[in-house]
A and B are shown apart, each in its own frame.
Chain A
């Protein structure tokens, strides 16, 4: 990295003057990033995602009230100067709860990606690389999981594991790895026929080494894109679990669970369900927009 400080950022990113593969990779990343942000949907998506991250980190500063503090004198107040989004059935400030709710959403998104990405890649790359019986067995298992809609699968796991945010994350992970494994398998099947894999094999590299060093790095990019696109779905499933009472449990501020509670009062107090719902729509829309832009940038063919 010392090259960076010596030459300055502008020179480091000059495509005419590339010295290392790391520099080339950094340039590619910056160019791709700029291209995504030039795309209006990519820009809007990225802005909302940044907002989500900021809300999660700075929640104590952004919130106007304690999200857990009940005030039974101020129950179900409509939106106003003191409570921007009104109060819920226990007099808690809905705006502050939505800000803190960003933490639950961000936790779900991050942990599900961290669990599902590697599992999907390992299963998919192994199946695609070996082919034959290994492939058949692993893909049969994947098919079984794919034979259920992801919310239903997550519900079944959540029912068995019991309610709670942790269990909801595990349940969602169980429900969302199969498409990732499918994708990684398809990539691995084309990569294993390439010359450099043949070369590695000729040099007596073990299967494990080839999968880890040659196959998996090449699958990673498309898996990351797919994960981003799937995040919108993950957020909706998580909100659905919260709404059905098997996800995050009260009093934890989680948007789906907030809607579930607000539902009992919605006919007279529309704000109890409206604002948490808008938060869910905004974030899932953001991942859809950002994922679309990411895919268009990396695969211009699909952008047509």
Chain B
């Protein structure tokens, strides 16, 4: 998505900056619209062509001929394919993702329930992951090939190579089953269900809004393990990228100048080199946040966290295609928006791109 956005056609050069910016915004928006359209087409094709028979998936193998014909027509399968896609796209755009046969609710309503749960997890994880990953990366990048560099590299490698679901089980075995320090399945103790009014759908925030510290602490006990695992995955990637960005800066001439004029090491690193990688870091953190949805699918399954990932997995298990496609669409849209925001932040923060 980044290739053709930054390119300005030669004819635009003599235009005013505001017209240029507007033109670029239109370019970005149309490319996003195209990608979204493609995403819709992909999910449509997945639903229509790949399963053995979408009708049998709903009515089961033993239904009679009449039921089959009726469901076949209800699904619109007797219409031409392009018309089916048009109907599907129109439905999605108007916010109709169909019904889920596992919850008996419209998929959109389910999504409004589960997405905040995943966001709560992902936001805590990205904050922790960045707070640890960026300093570690700076440390490694400014101490190249020293022991600390190798330690950070190994920490990162383990993060890359460990399946998140397996790490989650290990933590459950030790800290839940053996030590009893953390909560097990879910977002909070069932004892507290419905105790505080639902405002933001983030259990921790709602508890604080209602002034219930006990509920907040309880929710934290459930949140800490899955959030830490996702944070560790984020840390692995963020520290590695931060390291290579820092290495690049530390070899630049302005760093040599800063050192030569006698600035302290801390000042050279944080006031000079680090300032110049902030923009790149924003992009990396945004992309990591998007990638967290992937980890969430597995981690939520292990911790029975009632979020988007678990919803998608349940849809898979019961072959509920509406649930699967709705979740996939939400994740795709989320990904595309994050990419767009990262690109926008890059443009705003880096004067060279203006």
Selected contact of A277 from candidates B157, B163, B251, B319, CB within 8 Å: B163
Residues of A within 8 A of B332 (CB): 147-148
B144, chain A: closest CB distance, angstroms: 7
A262, chain B: closest CB distance, angstroms: 8
Residues of B within 8 A of A47 (CB): none
Contact A143 B163 (CB under 8 A): no
Cα distance A159–B316 when bound, in Å? 6
Cα distance A157–B313 when bound, in Å? 13
Q: Which B131-159 residues sit within 8 Å CB-CB of chain A?
A: 144, 157-158
| Stretch binding the partner chain, chosen from B44-52, B101-109, B213-221 | B44-52
Selected contact of B35 from candidates A140, A151, A232, A289, CB within 8 Å: A140
Interface residue B177 (Cβ < 8 Å from any Cβ of A): yes
Contact A148 B50 (CB under 8 A): no
The answer to whether residues A143 and B161 also contact, given A152-B297, A263-B169, A280-B166 and a CB cut-off of 8 A, is no
Residues of B within 8 A of A274 (CB): 170
Contact A285 B294 (CB under 8 A): no
The answer to whether residues A244 and B313 also contact, given A140-B38, A148-B332, A281-B161 and a CB cut-off of 8 A, is yes
The answer to whether residues A149 and B331 also contact, given A140-B34, A232-B160, A288-B160 and a CB cut-off of 8 A, is yes
Selected contact of B157 from candidates A136, A140, A288, CB within 8 Å: A288
Contact B47 A149 (CB under 8 A): no
A79, chain B: closest CB distance, angstroms: 15
Q: Which A212-246 residues sit within 8 Å CB-CB of chain B?
A: 232, 236, 239-240, 243-246
Interface residue A184 (Cβ < 8 Å from any Cβ of B): no
Contact A147 B39 (CB under 8 A): yes
Interface residue B85 (Cβ < 8 Å from any Cβ of A): no
| Chain B interface size range | 35 or more
Q: Which A125-165 residues sit within 8 Å CB-CB of chain B?
A: 136, 139-141, 143-153, 155-162
Contact A236 B297 (CB under 8 A): no
Cα distance A158–B46 when bound, in Å? 10
Residues of A within 8 A of B3 (CB): 139
Cα distance A281–B46 when bound, in Å? 32
B242, chain A: closest CB distance, angstroms: 15
Cα distance A102–B51 when bound, in Å? 30
| Stretch binding the partner chain, chosen from B117-125, B203-211, B320-328 | B320-328
Residues of A within 8 A of B315 (CB): 159
Residues of A within 8 A of B321 (CB): 159-160
Interface residues of chain A: helix, strand, loop or mixed (majority): helix
Residues of B within 8 A of A160 (CB): 46-47, 50-51, 321
Contact B328 A152 (CB under 8 A): yes
B125, chain A: closest CB distance, angstroms: 15
Interface residue B269 (Cβ < 8 Å from any Cβ of A): no
Residues of A within 8 A of B165 (CB): 240, 243, 259
Interface residue A304 (Cβ < 8 Å from any Cβ of B): yes
Cα distance A157–B51 when bound, in Å? 10
Contact B38 A144 (CB under 8 A): yes
Residues of B within 8 A of A273 (CB): 166, 169
Residues of B within 8 A of A263 (CB): 169, 302
Residues of B within 8 A of A136 (CB): 4
Residues of A within 8 A of B160 (CB): 232, 284-285, 288
Cα distance A141–B339 when bound, in Å? 17
Selected contact of B161 from candidates A146, A150, A152, A232, CB within 8 Å: A232
Interface residue A266 (Cβ < 8 Å from any Cβ of B): yes
Cα distance A304–B149 when bound, in Å? 12
Selected contact of A156 from candidates B161, B166, B290, B328, CB within 8 Å: B328
Cα distance A152–B43 when bound, in Å? 12
Interface residue A270 (Cβ < 8 Å from any Cβ of B): yes
Contact B316 A155 (CB under 8 A): yes
A168-185 near B? 1/0 per residue, CB < 8 Å? 000000000000000000
Cα distance A147–B43 when bound, in Å? 12
Residues of B within 8 A of A259 (CB): 163, 165-166, 169
Kindly name the residue among A145, A236, A256 whose own CB sees the greatest number of chain B CB atoms within 10 A.
A236
Contact B161 A288 (CB under 8 A): yes
Contact B294 A281 (CB under 8 A): no
Q: A147-B39, A256-B163 are in contact. List 17 more A-B contacts (CB 8 A).
A: A140-B35, A144-B35, A147-B339, A148-B39, A149-B293, A149-B335, A160-B46, A162-B51, A239-B163, A243-B301, A263-B169, A263-B302, A267-B172, A270-B173, A277-B163, A284-B163, A285-B161
Give me 25 A-to-B residue pairs in the complex whose CB atoms sit less than 8 angstroms apart, sorted by A's number: A139-B3, A140-B38, A143-B1, A144-B38, A147-B339, A149-B291, A155-B328, A159-B315, A159-B324, A160-B50, A160-B51, A161-B50, A240-B165, A244-B313, A259-B165, A259-B169, A270-B173, A273-B166, A273-B169, A274-B170, A280-B166, A281-B161, A281-B162, A284-B162, A288-B160
User: Chain B residues in contact with chain A, CB under 8 A?
Assistant: 1, 3-4, 34-35, 38-39, 41-43, 46-47, 50-52, 144, 157-158, 160-163, 165-166, 169-170, 172-173, 177, 247, 251, 290-291, 293-294, 297-298, 301-302, 312-313, 315-317, 319, 321, 324-325, 328, 331-332, 335-336, 339
